[in-house]
Structure 1
Amino acid sequence: MFTLPRLHSYDQEIKKSRFRALACPIASEEDAKALLAEHSDLAANHNCWAWRLGQTYRFNDDGEPSGTAGKPILQAIDGQQMDGVLVIVTRWFGGILLGSGGLIRAYGGTAAQCLREAEKVEVIHRSQHMFRVGFSDLALVKARLSAIENAVVCAEHYTETGADLVCAIPDHQAETVTKMLIDLTAGRTLLLKEDNDA
């Protein structure tokens, strides 16, 4: 899965109608609502949109025939394996009717081209883990953690005997990393807690 690091726009003209797609990264439904309010052009004929955030999604045809705008935009988002993304496609009517098939191609195609051209970043799902590490093993454990791609030490809390390290570890590596740290320190490192939202 991928998301966007920043806004990206794309314009095209189809049979005298002007279409502008704006793709935006979002972290919540509130983000989507705020961006829709900010970027919808009230002078345009239609501001159609779709967004996806994990398993949650919404789309809107904004006056176009049902199923001809919002759903094709959502299909463009899903087709590009995007998450945490809102796409608004604004249409200024040029006087030529496109028909249902033409509208689906215009809205879906404009959204897809915008997303194809946009810079993308991979979405990495991490979970938080807290490890209790003794002073004698601390430097070695931190060195091993820093060598793991996309693993992050978020916090260190010192204790009388060492430190509790709060780490965000990619989900697909969590079990392997935990076992590696315990083996590395001959069982002296303890997994204190595990959260699935990092």
Structure 2
Amino acid sequence: MMATINMQQGYAAVLCVLAVLGLEAAAPGECELTRLLQDKLQYEMRLQYMKHYFPIDYTVQVQYEEVLRPSNITRMRNGTVSEAALRYLWFHVSSQAVLRIREVLPEKHPSWKYTQELCQLFDALGKEYSKYRQTDVETVVADLVKLIHSAGAESRSKAVRPKALLDNCLKVMRMLYGVPCRWEST
């Protein structure tokens, strides 16, 4: 009980500091869930479940917009897209990438349970993002999210290795959550 109160006071202090600095803070729930995701996305796990358990050079077909790299985030930041909107975009792109990987796996595949656990974490994170509406974020982000979920024929397709999708997920997550969630640099 006392630890919970201290933790809440710590989050409140962090939020105040970030507000003074003009940074957009991540909610405590977002920080906890992304920390759990970071644990699940450790290099050894990504290597085992997304590379070793797949055939050599195996790729998954994704929309071009479903590949979110750190360079994309840097470019959008320079275009003055808010941190909250970038986290919203990261959530949609990353959760969709995990679903794309899971779609190709039979239930008995050794990676199926791992992807199921990732999906559950993203579902929980989705509840944190349920307060956002596409009208609340910058147009460029709202348009990308709509495009990702439309899966229209006009969208370009790209073959990507499952591990590369999760590598990008982790790198971008660290960029977006490392400072506001006060993660140790890894």
| TM category, shorter | under 0.3
TM-score normalised per structure 1: 0.22
TM-score normalised per structure 2: 0.23
Give 1 or 2: higher strand fraction. 1
Give 1 or 2: higher helix fraction. 2
